[in-house]
Amino acid sequence: MAPDCAVEGAVAAPVPMDSVRGSLTPNAPLAKLVWFKAGGAADWLFEPADLDDLREFLARLRGELPVMALGLGSNLIVRDGGVPGVVVRLGKAFATVVDKGEHVLRCGGGASGILVSSSARDAGIAGLEFLRGIPGTVGGFVRMNGGAYGREVADVLLDCEVILPGGELVRLPAADLRYTYRHSVLPEGAVVVSARLQGTPGDPAEIGAEMDRIAQAREESQPLRTKTGGSTFKNPPDDKAWRLVDAAGCRGLRKGGAQVSEKHTNFLINTGDATSADIEGLGEEVRRRVYAETGVMLEWEIQRVGRP
């Protein structure tokens, strides 16, 4: 049963919790849920039982507190002061992938890129192999137009279902998201609960071979076995962020427990005891040095949320 007013520390829940079936945790540590393994707590962490449960909870919240969806935590710096309002974490009920025919997959917002691409392979659906290279969930890469290896979500998205902060469930065609590079116009607080992705007919063996190639390329070029957050900065037009970071002499640069990866300079890593302030501060120092050296001001790709 979800907590109500009898939550830990006698903190009153932000909404009545009768008949809400998910779990609501006050002052919930988030460091263990994000790839950097750093950062503060959420004022509230809500893990809904299913779609109806999430709609009911958000309807009761009535947009009165900020809402942030959390996927795998791969593209995220949670600042050390924690996240105000409610963090929504989508669990197994939102991690389904269903073949809808006509080479279309309907994917839950909590489904990982690996699960989606593997499901597409098994169904003989080509064109979604690149999702194998995105370390996140459908909700995250639909929101930010995630991409890898020459493809992006804008190329394959038909539409998505989102719950708005007041609890309303709406279906948005891809055109309504007005995708640009690593950006959409989805409103803050909207939670992506599903998406339909369009592929093309393909041979499972060939699809699997391409997925293996992507996985191997990531393993060889990226510091995957470290506490990292994925690509730190957006690639500027006609250039690569990693090349500019390298040209500015930032390979291996450190601040506290944070370091620019020696393996791939567009990755920051937590060497063991970094705070989120270390990580974000290092990123800002890299931006400063790249601008001083090249005149290019890199834009963050990693999302930075919460209180300093």
Active site residues: 182, 231, 301
CB contact at 8 A, 46 and 21: no
Amino acid present at 165: P
Which residues are CB-contacts of 227 (< 8 A; sequence separation ≥ 6)? 35, 36, 37, 38, 269, 270, 271, 272, 274
Can you tell me the distance from the alpha carbon of 134 to that of 14, in angstroms, rounded to the nearest whole number? 34
Task: Break the chain down into helix, strand, coil percent, rounded to 5.
Answer: 30, 30, 45
By the 8 A CB rule, do 96 and 217 touch? no
CA distance 161 to 174: 10
Cα–Cα nearest to 73, from 85, 61, 90: 90
Query: In Å, how far from its chain's centre is CA 80?
Result: 19
Alpha-helical (H) ranges within 95-169 are 113-122, 138-143
Task: Give the residue from 211, 193, 171, 197 showing the smallest Cα distance to 99.
Answer: 197
Secondary structure (3-state) at 293 = helix
Q: How many residues does the chain have?
A: 308
- Structural contact between residues 33 and 70, judged by C-beta atoms closer than 8 angstroms: yes
